Amino acid sequence: MTLEEKVIEVIRKNSETVETVPSDADLVKKVGVDSFGMIMIVNAIEDMFSITVEEGDIAAIRTVDDITRLLRTKYGITE
């Protein structure tokens, strides 16, 4: 499973309604993730990769691509 697929799986498992998640889609405006939903996603990613995401980085997340980019560049996670 690629990093992108892992992130998409996290988003789906931490949502009641999200079914498909295009990697470039705005999670809030297009996918329907709300503020609590975003917190659940970030918490799950922190647990999965044993990291702590900084608040400023959370605010900058718009898409799956943003999350995978953050994981690669800041935390050295590639898969």
Partner 1 sequence: MIDTTVYNRLAVDLHLADALQFNPYYPDVQSRKPGKVKIGDRWLIDCASNDYLGLAADSALKKNYADTISRYGVSLCGTPIAAGGNRLLKEMEARIAQFTGCEDAMTFPSCYQANVSLFRTLCTKEDVILIDHYAHASLAEGAKATGCRIMPFLHNDCDYLEKLLKRPRPKGCVFVVTESVFSTEGALAPFDGIYTLCERYGAVPVIDDSHGIGVIGTGGAGVLSHFGIHRYEGIYTASLGKALANSGGIIGGGKNCITALKYRCPGSMYSTAVPPAVAAGVLHVLDRLQNEYQSLRDTLRKNVDGINAVIDAKGFQRAAGAAPIISMKCGSIENTLRCARAFFNNGMVVTPFIEPSVPPGKGVVRIIPGAGVAADECREAVSRLDNGWREN
Instruction: Indicate the residue among 56 and 76 with the shorter CB distance to partner 1.
Output: 56
Site for partner 1 in 10-29 (CB under 8 A): 14-17
* Shortest distance (Å) from residue 15 CB to partner 1: 8
Count of helices and strands (H, E) across the chain: 4, 0
Locate 28 and state its tokens: 């809030």
| Number of residues located near partner 1, criterion CB under 8 A | 11
CA angle 60, 63, 66 (to 5 degrees): 60
Kindly list the residues in this chain that would bind partner 1 in the complex (CB under 8 A): 14-17, 32, 34, 36-37, 39-40, 43
